[in-house]
């Protein structure tokens, strides 16, 4: 288990027990999910600023990539109507179930060996990793009708599917989107609600998984809160996308400060609603509460105010 935030984060009142670990700098963790809506940035800008990206098969053919590139596929959805019937999810009456939002897509049976092999085939062209979507509770709750399995059974079956796909190749790894329930799975997970749920839950996911975290907050202060909250708990193997889907590839001003922050030197600490983590060249301060808090920087700088649900990157003098 990657012990970075400890059990005390569940209440955000006690000191964290986060083991320091050698890891990449903050900007090395940036992630651009290009497969969603693309980006207004150029290919060269993305490659030079976002080490990790996820792309569709079409985007990959057009040359979109970076040093750590994931290929997007759906883990429990398909628009193909001609697979064997056992590959599909059904109601108690035997009717196929569709995705409630993407009505042309069928919900697939994650326990089907045939469907699992198809997902492996869909991932086969992944450069470094495969983005396997519609897993976890999100995939269950978006069904158009009640299936014959419970939500807990669905979680168990999608976890087994993710393990199967992860073990299918040594050439690429798996990120199972929104499958955040398992602790320390062999696969990475996507977490689309990072910083939009409580800080405690967000940091618990960071502690117990290798997270492709999505801080889908579109304002400067919201994006800064998501990014600094991520930095307060991130470890090796974690990645962060900041901003809404339409802001993919946006270069936020606070990235410039993060570029010289360095690596974490020790555990994050919590005092009430305040989280502080020291880095080699400064510190990250996060206010998870509802009122402005004044903090004296440990680096010796002047006192600074941190607004509610906001964060700051303070560099050493």
The structure tokens listed for 102 are 């993407």
The structure tokens listed for 158 are 């999608």
In a domain, 274, yes or no: no
The structure tokens listed for 70 are 């994931």
- Sequence-distant (6+) residues with CB within 8 A of 84 are 114
Kindly give the pairing relationship between strand 274-279 and strand 282-287. Answer: antiparallel
Q: What is the CATH number of the domain that holds 166?
A: 3.20.20.70
Phi, psi of 270 (to 5 degrees): -125, 135
In a domain, 219, yes or no: yes
Specify the pLDDT at position 303. 86
**245 DSSP assignment:** G
Alpha carbon distance 286, 313 (integer Å): 9
Kindly give the pairing relationship between strand 293-296 and strand 303-306. Answer: antiparallel
Distances, alpha carbon 312 to alpha carbons 130, 270, 276, in Å: 33, 15, 10
pLDDT digits (tens, 9 = 90+) for 264-310: 998 899 999 999 999 999 999 999 999 999 988 776 678 889 999 99
Specify the pLDDT at position 266. 87
Range of the domain at 189: 25-253
Which of these, 143, 132, 139, lies nearest to 156 by C-alpha position?
139
In a domain, 285, yes or no: no
Specify the pLDDT at position 297. 76
In a domain, 311, yes or no: no
SS3 53: strand
Which element (helix H / strand E) includes 34?
A: helix 34-37
- Report the chain (317 residues): mean pLDDT per 10 consecutive residues: 41 37 80 98 98 98 98 98 98 98 97 98 97 96 98 98 97 97 96 96 95 98 98 96 98 97 92 95 96 84 91 93
In a domain, 55, yes or no: yes
Structural domains in the chain (count):
1
SS3 1: coil
In a domain, 43, yes or no: yes
In a domain, 186, yes or no: yes
Task: Write down how long the chain is.
Answer: 317
Which of these, 121, 101, 112, lies nearest to 76 by C-alpha position?
112
In a domain, 120, yes or no: yes
Specify the pLDDT at position 21. 40
Specify the pLDDT at position 1. 40
């Amino acid at each position: 288990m990657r012990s970075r935030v400890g059990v005390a984060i569940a209440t955000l009142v006690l000191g964290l027990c986060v083991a320091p670990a050698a890891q990449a700098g903050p900007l090395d963790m940036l992630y651009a999910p290009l497969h969603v809506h693309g980006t207004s940035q150029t290919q060269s800008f993305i490659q030079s600023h976002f080490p990790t990206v996820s792309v569709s098969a079409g985007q990959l053919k057009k040359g979109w990539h970076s040093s750590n590139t994931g290929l997007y596929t759906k883990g429990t959805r398909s628009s193909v109507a001609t697979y064997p019937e056992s590959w599909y999810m059904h109601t108690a009456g035997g009717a196929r179930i569709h995705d409630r939002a993407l009505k042309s897509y069928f919900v697939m049976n994650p326990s089907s060996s045939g469907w699992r092999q198809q997902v492996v085939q869909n991932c086969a062209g992944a450069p470094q990793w495969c983005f396997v979507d519609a897993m976890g509770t999100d995939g269950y709750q978006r069904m158009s009708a009640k299936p014959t399995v419970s939500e807990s059974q669905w979680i168990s079956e999608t976890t087994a599917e993710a393990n199967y796909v992860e073990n299918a190749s040594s050439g690429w790894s798996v990120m199972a989107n929104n499958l955040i329930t398992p602790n320390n799975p062999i696969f990475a997970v996507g977490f689309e609600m990072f910083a939009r749920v409580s800080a405690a839950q967000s940091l618990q996911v960071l502690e117990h998984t290798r997270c492709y975290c999505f801080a889908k907050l579109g304002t400067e202060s919201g994006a800064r809160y998501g990014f600094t909250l991520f930095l307060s708990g991130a470890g090796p193997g974690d990645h962060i996308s900041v901003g809404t889907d339409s802001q993919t590839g946006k270069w936020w001003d606070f990235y410039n400060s993060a570029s010289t922050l360095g690596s974490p030197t020790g555990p994050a600490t919590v005092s009430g609603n305040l989280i502080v983590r020291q880095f080699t060249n400064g510190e990250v301060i996060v206010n998870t509460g509802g009122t402005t808090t004044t903090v004296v920087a440990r680096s010796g700088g002047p006192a600074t105010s941190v607004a509610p649900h906001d964060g700051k990157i303070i560099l050493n003098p």
